[in-house]
Amino acid sequence: MNMIRSLAAALIFCLTSVPVVAHAILLSCVPTVNSIVKGPDTPIRLRFNSRIDLKRSKLLLVYPDGTQRELTISSQDSPDMLVSEAKGLSQGSYLIHWQVLASDGHITRGEIGFKVQ
């Protein structure tokens, strides 16, 4: 009987426990993936599903010729967002490499490709 109670208690605990934190997942972005935008200045906004550590996050812009430049991240509008602006972009294909540190202590990375018309 004690084993049944123990198993029942463990099952109830597993079914009712909810994770407190999770890795940062990109929910939305501007520019959107594979979008075509008008230059020369392009706002960049990334929204995640969790709080982001702004000081340990990075945005890197890769130009059509392969040149890379780290973008300055503006102070946060919201704790789950990264905001920046890419200025003076000419026509071509660009890539944004992003890296964020979420509230769970894990680093998440990704990239967003877009074109300037």
29-87 pLDDT, tens digit per residue, is 999 999 999 999 999 999 999 999 999 999 999 999 999 999 999 977 799 999 999 99
Specify the pTM.
0.78
Residues 51, 31: Cα–Cα separation, whole Å: 21
Q: Which long-range contacts (CB under 8 A, 24 or more apart) does 90-93 make?
A: 90/39, 90/40, 90/64, 90/116, 91/39, 91/116, 91/117, 92/63, 92/64, 92/116, 93/64
pLDDT the model gives residue 18: 39
Question: Could you give all domains of the chain from N- to C-terminal order, each with its CATH number?
Answer: 21-116 (2.60.40.1220)
Is the separation of the CB atoms in 91 and 39 below 8 Å? Answer: yes
**Antiparallel, parallel or unpaired: β 35-37 and 107-116:** parallel
